Amino acid sequence: MKQLYRVPFQRNSEMVKEARFQYVQRIMELEAEGHIHLFLWMKLGFNLTKVRRRGRNIIGHRATVTVPGQRGANITMCAAISNDGVLCHIPTVGPYNTERLITFLMHYVTD
């Protein structure tokens, strides 16, 4: 038996499909005009806590695993990427707020 893959219902709604179409059209227009995307600012978050989803045990007994009561801290990273590669990246523990974003931008400008 395979594990189910969950797809959020909004992912394929008509509104989202139309937004994707408009985005692709805009990118194609920019490329046709000759504008070059010099910078890409990214902010992403991830968590290093991993938990098994499947397991084995004796027939008739439930497969169990002991997990911590709380997940680990979220790690958030903000990065500036250009055609030449990664210009600047700063990982932090916890969310990026306005103060951290300004610190990142100031660090990028001074480098």
Q: Which alpha helices (H) appear in the chain, and where do they start and end? A: 14-33, 98-110
Residue 78 pLDDT > 80:
yes
Residue 90 pLDDT > 80:
yes
pLDDT, tens digit, for every residue of 36-52? 656 777 777 877 776 66
Residue 43, C-beta contacts closer than 8 angstroms, at least 6 positions apart: 76, 77, 78, 79, 96, 101
Q: What are phi and psi of 82, to 5 degrees?
A: -125, -175
User: To the nearest whole number, what is the mean pLDDT of the chain?
Assistant: 77
pLDDT of amino acid 21: 94
Q: Under a CB-based contact definition with an 8 Å cutoff, are residues 76 and 48 in contact? A: no
pLDDT of amino acid 86: 82
Residue 7 pLDDT > 60:
no
